């Protein structure tokens, strides 16, 4: 089997959202969809002035569900209660794609490094 000849599907490019904030009502639905795919915490600003910071783990057409950063139980927030979404948490997997790993591997190999192990990098670094 020649692996170079295998068909390869393109990967998904994650948008760099860290630090972005969406307040425009016409963009909130799209922002919440992006927040669902985001690998860090977001801050949901509610119409009543309160905020919830945490990880969005579920959503449907009416609401999102969040694991709050400060602990406690799961929180459900209706889209109609949300005034803004901010991507406040660090994306722990940013820059740690397979392509980035392969590039580092070949750079190390080209530099003459021997016995390069196939170990993933820590997501905490």
pLDDT tens-place string over residues 63-98: 999 999 988 899 999 999 999 999 998 876 666 666
Q: Does pLDDT of 6 surpass 60?
A: no
Q: What pLDDT sits at residue 118?
A: 62
What's the CATH number where 50 sits? 2.30.30.100
Residue 6 lies in a domain: no
Q: What pLDDT sits at residue 106?
A: 83
Indicate the burial class of 101 (C-beta count within 10 angstroms; 0-12, 13-18, 19 or more): middle
In the chain, the number of structural domains is: 1
Say if CB 66 and CB 57 are below 8 A apart: yes
pLDDT tens-place string over residues 26-75: 999 899 988 988 888 999 999 999 999 999 999 998 999 999 998 889 99
CA atoms of 37 and 10, how far apart (whole Å): 18
Residue 36 lies in a domain: yes
Residue 5 lies in a domain: no
State which H helix or E strand residue 68 sits in: strand 63-68
Q: Indicate the SS3 state at residue 118.
A: coil
The boundaries of the domain holding residue 57 are 11-115
Residue 99 lies in a domain: yes
Residue 15 lies in a domain: yes
Q: Are strands 82-86 and 21-22 parallel, antiparallel or unpaired?
A: antiparallel
């Amino acid at each position: 089997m020649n692996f170079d000849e295998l068909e390869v599907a393109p990967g998904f490019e994650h948008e760099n959202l860290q630090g972005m904030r969406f307040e425009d009502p016409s963009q909130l639905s799209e922002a919440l969809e992006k927040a669902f795919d985001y690998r860090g915490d977001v801050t949901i600003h509610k119409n009543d002035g309160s905020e919830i910071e945490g990880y969005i783990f579920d959503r449907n057409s009416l609401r999102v569900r969040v694991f709050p950063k400060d602990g406690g139980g799961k929180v459900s927030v209706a889209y109609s209660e949300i005034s803004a979404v901010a991507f406040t948490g660090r994306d722990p997997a940013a820059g740690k794609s397979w392509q980035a790993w392969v590039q580092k591997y070949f750079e190390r190999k080209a530099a003459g490094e021997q016995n390069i192990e196939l170990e993933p990098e820590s997501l905490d670094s």
